[in-house]
Amino acid sequence: MNRKSEPNIGERPTEKAGPDSMAIRQVYGRPLPLPGNDIDTDQIIPARFMRALTFEGIEKHLFEDVRSRRKNQKHPHPLDDPHFSGGSILIVDDNFGCGSSREHAAQCLQRWGIQAIIGLSFAEIFHGNSVSVGMPCFVVSPEDHENLKRCVHNAPGERMVLDLECETLTFQDFQCPISMPAGMKGRFVNGSWNSLARLLEAPDRIQECARSLPYIQWTTTG
């Protein structure tokens, strides 16, 4: 199932003015539970699909090997479970994203339609790569984690709201605190997570810097 073909898989309200144009202050969407500790990047995107020069189309291979092994089983992989169709907020367990340091795993999840991830802990490099693609990863306590999973299984398909500034998760009547490192939170809230977009907002400064470098010959077209 290629989620990019499905409408309304989740939304991230953003501020649309000036330097805050890429700010992410709230995320809402349907939850998608993915149980299992130590889910590594090779499971998320098998290594044979990381040879391309770009990330285009990589989402088609999200959890490909794991999903194919469960295709004819009684209980499908969570990504193929109709109970969680349209899920865009992933709920994981401990040490999610361990393994390779490459950005492909975060890119694959985000391009498939995952807007944010809730878990007990994340591999450090994966956590950093997730910031670069605008996909917040939040940590919750073990007690809240268990209660959240129970609530989600009792009401699949209901909307979840993540508030970055207030650091809260709301799902129906359930609410709990969520956290991430302060530096990461700041980059989402002020929009600086998207380094390329921030760079393109300052074309005059780019030209000024380029002209000051003797090894760059700056030219304009049109």
Q: For domain 3-193, which CATH number applies: 3.40.50.300, 3.90.78.10, 3.40.50.2000, 3.20.19.10?
A: 3.20.19.10
What lies within 8 Å, CB to CB, of 134 at 6+ separation is: 12, 22, 24, 110, 188, 193, 194
CA distance 60 to 74: 23
User: Could you read off the pLDDT of 163-173 as tens digits, one per residue?
Assistant: 999 999 999 99
What mean pLDDT do residues 91-115 have?
95
User: Could you read off the pLDDT of 28-55 as tens digits, one per residue?
Assistant: 999 999 999 999 999 999 988 888 778 9
What's the pLDDT score for residue 49? 87
Q: Who wins on pLDDT, 164 or 221?
A: 164
User: Could you read off the pLDDT of 170-211 as tens digits, one per residue?
Assistant: 999 999 999 999 999 999 999 889 777 666 666 777 777 877
Q: Where are the domains of the chain?
A: 3-193
Q: How far does the chain reach from its first CA to its final CA, in angstroms?
A: 43
The pTM of this model reads 0.83
Alpha helices in the chain (DSSP H): 41-44, 64-69, 104-112, 124-132, 142-154, 182-190, 195-200, 203-211
